[in-house]
Structure 1
Amino acid sequence: MSTEFYFNTQTRQVEEGKPSSWTHRMGPYPTREAAAHALETAERRTESWDEDDREGAAPGDGA
């Protein structure tokens, strides 16, 4: 089984595995680096979905 990494929103640290409560975890991510950028990734996705909403497209339609 491969190692999974998570971003802890409370401590703002990357964690290997699931040592903390799910309420504070984002992930899983395949690498430590990807987990470290979890908030930036989420922000980009949210901006994209907001743009889709403004244009009347459903999220994920690729429009």
Structure 2
Amino acid sequence: MGMEYWYNTKTGRVEATDDPERARSADLMGPYGSEDEASRALETAAQKTAQWDEEERKEHEWRTGDADSAAWDNNPLND
């Protein structure tokens, strides 16, 4: 297996597996196979989240038959 890279959300820097200063916390995203992939971690995560949200919306529409039902909030405290 090759070198792995991590994106540190706290510092905004890419860190390598063999970096003795690499953070070991929830601030890391990865591993990624290249520095370039790691540097785009936030962009990749945003794209995946948007894709999952759209898939969930389509599934909800299929289940309910109502394209707008997912936007409806039945919590009276949110009025």
TM-score (norm 1): 0.83
TM-score (norm 2): 0.67
Deviation at 1:28, TM superposition (A): 0.3
Larger radius of gyration: 2
**Aligned with 2:54 (options 43, 51, 54):** 51
Larger strand proportion of the pair:
1
1:60 corresponds in structure 2 to: none
Aligned identity (percent) is 39
Give the aligned residue type for 2:2: S
How much is the aligned-residue C-alpha RMSD, in angstroms?
1.5
Which of 1 and 2 has higher RCO (CA within 8 Å, sep 6+)? Answer: 1
Give the aligned residue type for 1:52: E
Deviation at 1:37, TM superposition (A): 0.2
2:36 corresponds in structure 1 to: 33
Shift >6 Å, 4+ stretches: none
